């Protein structure tokens, strides 16, 4: 190496050394967490390599204790998992939310949020947990700072999907059997509205600006577009009666909505500007994709495939499956955690 190159290298090292610590941040790494409903475990994948790097046992009673819906803290460092049993007649000790620290993959906390929690959501500050209590036709709010229950609220029948608006004001809860969405005012702590959507609504997600919400309807084969200020359906996107839409994920720029097709073993890609289906991904998909998520950088989409015990990894550019990875029994949901 010539004298000039050495001087340049020494200069660069000196420049970096003089940077404020806050400007020299370690690279962010992502991990995918998959809840295995029949395996009572969580499979952990390194998003950089898509290799399985760990399995977190949730219970020693697979087939009896079922991890299902998950949510991620705003900083990506904690994964919240909804647990329940397969015979949800009474509230049992397994009905709870567990918190997993991404850095260590250890369960660091447990929270009681009523019976049979199926899915869970967090407010934007990460201070409130909201759970859909499937067998009780209720939703439960829990304050993570005080450790106290905020309240239990009547919803439609068989509540499943739950989401908090980006401003933290409203909680939407879908009712599978009543075909409804219940709107809870998270500030005044009271339900303020119920409205009809498609048949068997499974999941709800808000747009990043909070102006809209999308609600999937498994039997109706639709996605309802909701005015999230007026709390009313303004458009219905038909995916076909045989489409079986369940979980959904918005791209980071909000331009695409990815919809897991459940029993059809497909993923539907919707252009949110036109509300039209751009593509249906079927080739190489695992069986019964139920959960779906996209990495925060928008580079990979993951589906949790309940009948093939696998995860499919989709390239958002080519909209094709690029890899499949075996995980635990009965994958239900998948989310992305962050290691900083």
Give the whole-number percent of the chain exceeding pLDDT 90: 86
Instruction: Place 25 in a pLDDT band, splitting at 50, 70 and 90.
Output: low
Residue 198: its pLDDT value, please?
A: 97
Distance CA 72, CA 149 (A): 20
Among 58-67, 150-159, 163-172, 273-282, the minimum mean pLDDT is found in 58-67
**Burial grade of 55 (CB within 10 A; 0-12, 13-18, 19 or more):** middle
Residue 2: its pLDDT value, please?
A: 46
What integer best gives the mean pLDDT of the chain?
93
Is the pLDDT assigned to residue 273 strictly greater than 60?
Answer: yes
pLDDT tens, position by position, 35-47:
999 999 999 999 9
Residue 88: its pLDDT value, please?
A: 76
β pairing state of 148-154 and 138-143: antiparallel
The average pLDDT across 322-338 equals 98
Residue 63: its pLDDT value, please?
A: 87
The Cβ of residue 276 has, within 10 Å, a number of other Cβ atoms equal to 10
Residue 24: its pLDDT value, please?
A: 53
Residue 241: its pLDDT value, please?
A: 83
Residue 255: its pLDDT value, please?
A: 98
Instruction: Place 201 in a pLDDT band, splitting at 50, 70 and 90.
Output: very high
Distance CA 307, CA 331 (A): 8
Residue 7: its pLDDT value, please?
A: 45
Contact between 72 and 337 under an 8 Å Cβ cutoff? The reply is: yes
The average pLDDT across 280-288 equals 98
Contact between 35 and 81 under an 8 Å Cβ cutoff? The reply is: yes
Is the pLDDT assigned to residue 13 strictly greater than 50?
Answer: no
Is the pLDDT assigned to residue 62 strictly greater than 50?
Answer: yes
Give the whole-number percent of the chain exceeding pLDDT 70: 92
Torsion (CA) 224, 254, 103, 106 in degrees, nearest 10: 0
pLDDT tens, position by position, 90-131:
788 889 999 999 999 999 999 999 999 999 999 999 999 999
Token pair of 309 as six digits:
């015990």
Choose among 307, 291, 295, 306: nearest CA to 31.
Answer: 295
Give the residue, 25 or 99, on which the prediction is more confident: 99
The Cβ of residue 278 has, within 10 Å, a number of other Cβ atoms equal to 12
Instruction: Place 339 in a pLDDT band, splitting at 50, 70 and 90.
Output: very high
Residue 60: its pLDDT value, please?
A: 85
Is the pLDDT assigned to residue 14 strictly greater than 60?
Answer: no
Is the pLDDT assigned to residue 59 strictly greater than 90?
Answer: no
The average pLDDT across 319-328 equals 98
Instruction: Place 87 in a pLDDT band, splitting at 50, 70 and 90.
Output: confident
Residue 21: its pLDDT value, please?
A: 47
Token pair of 222 as six digits:
């639709």
Residue 1: its pLDDT value, please?
A: 44
Residue 16: its pLDDT value, please?
A: 43
Question: SS3 for the chain, per residue?
Answer: CCHHHHHHHHHHHHHHHHCCHHHCCCCCEEEEEEEECCCCEEEEEECCCCEEEEEEECCCCECCEEEEEEEECCCCCEEEEEEEECCCCCCCCCCEEEEEECCCCEEEEEECCCCCEEEEEECCCCCEEEEEEHHHCEEEEEECCCCEEEEEEECCCCEEEEEECCCCCEEEEEECCCCEEEEEECCCCEEEEEEECCCCEEEEEECCCCCEEEEEECCCCEEEEEECCCCEEEEEEECCCCCCCCCEEECCCCCEEEEECHHHCCEEEEECCCCEEEEEECCCCCCCEEEEEECCCCCCEEEEECCCCEEEEEECCCCEEEEEEECCCCEEEEEEEEEC
């Amino acid at each position: 190496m010539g004298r000039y190159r050495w001087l340049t290298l020494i200069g660069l090292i000196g420049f970096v050394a003089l940077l404020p610590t806050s400007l020299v941040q370690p690279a962010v790494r992502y991990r995918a967490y998959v809840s295995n409903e029949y395996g009572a475990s969580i499979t952990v994948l390194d998003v950089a390599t898509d290799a399985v790097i760990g399995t977190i046992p949730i219970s020693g009673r697979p087939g009896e204790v079922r991890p299902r819906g998950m949510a991620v803290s705003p900083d990506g460092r904690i994964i919240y998992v909804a647990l329940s049993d397969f015979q949800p007649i009474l509230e049992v000790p397994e009905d709870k939310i567990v918190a997993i620290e991404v850095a260590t993959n250890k369960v660091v906390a447990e929270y009681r949020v009523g019976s049979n929690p199926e899915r869970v959501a967090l407010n934007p500050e990460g201070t409130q947990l909201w759970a859909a209590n499937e067998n009780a036709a209720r939703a439960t709010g829990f304050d993570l700072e005080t450790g106290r229950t905020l309240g239990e609220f009547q919803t439609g029948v068989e509540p499943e999907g739950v989401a908090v608006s980006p401003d933290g004001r409203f909680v939407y809860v879908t009712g599978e059997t009543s075909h409804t969405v219940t709107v809870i005012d998270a500030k005044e702590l009271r339900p303020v509205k119920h409205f009809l959507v498609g048949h068997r609504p499974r999941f709800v997600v808000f747009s990043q600006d909070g102006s809209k919400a999308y609600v999937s309807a498994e039997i109706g084969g639709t996605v309802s577009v909701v005015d999230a200020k007026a709390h009313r359906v303004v458009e219905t996107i038909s995916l076909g009666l045989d489409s079986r839409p369940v979980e959904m994920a918005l791209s980071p720029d909000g331009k695409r909505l990815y919809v897991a097709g459940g029993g059809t073993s497909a993923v539907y890609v919707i252009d949110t500007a036109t509300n039209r289906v751009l593509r249906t991904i079927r080739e190489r998909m695992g069986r019964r994709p139920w959960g779906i998520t996209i990495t925060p950088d928008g580079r990979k989409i993951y589906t949790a495939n309940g009948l093939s015990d696998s995860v499919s990894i989709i390239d958002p550019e080519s909209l094709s499956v690029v890899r499949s990875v075996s995980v635990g029994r009965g994958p239900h949901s998948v989310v992305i955690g962050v290691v900083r």
